[in-house]
Amino acid sequence: MSCFKSEIRFIITSLNFNLELQYHDQDISLIAKAIDKFRKRNPNTPVGEGCWLVKYLIVKYLQHHRDYKNRKDKNNKNKNTEESEEGKKKSIHFTL
């Protein structure tokens, strides 16, 4: 399964998917191109009826990417607020 994840990651980045959008908001033609590329690159892989395996991997990759970005942004905001609070404390300490 992990080799399929790397394939999907490569295909999604090569097709320039909008990683900010959810799966159902993506362009249908891009999803179809991704499925075709996956089939060409992995001809012996059983993708299932309706290509559910590839669609599932695309959904999971997009969810993971958004989750990672949100966690990263949240951590950056927390660090910035902590630094600004420390700066305020220091400036008050020096002014007294």
Task: Identify whether the C-beta of residue 19 lies closer than 8 Å to the C-beta of residue 62.
Answer: yes
Q: How many CB atoms lie within 10 A of CB 72?
A: 10
> What is the percentage of the chain residues whose pLDDT exceeds 90?
38
What is the value of pTM for the model shown?
A: 0.70
- Say how far residue 44 (Cα) sits from the centre of its chain: 27
pLDDT at 4 over 90: no
Task: List, for residues 41-70, the tens digit of each pLDDT value.
Answer: 988 888 778 788 899 999 999 999 999 988
CA distance 74 to 63: 16
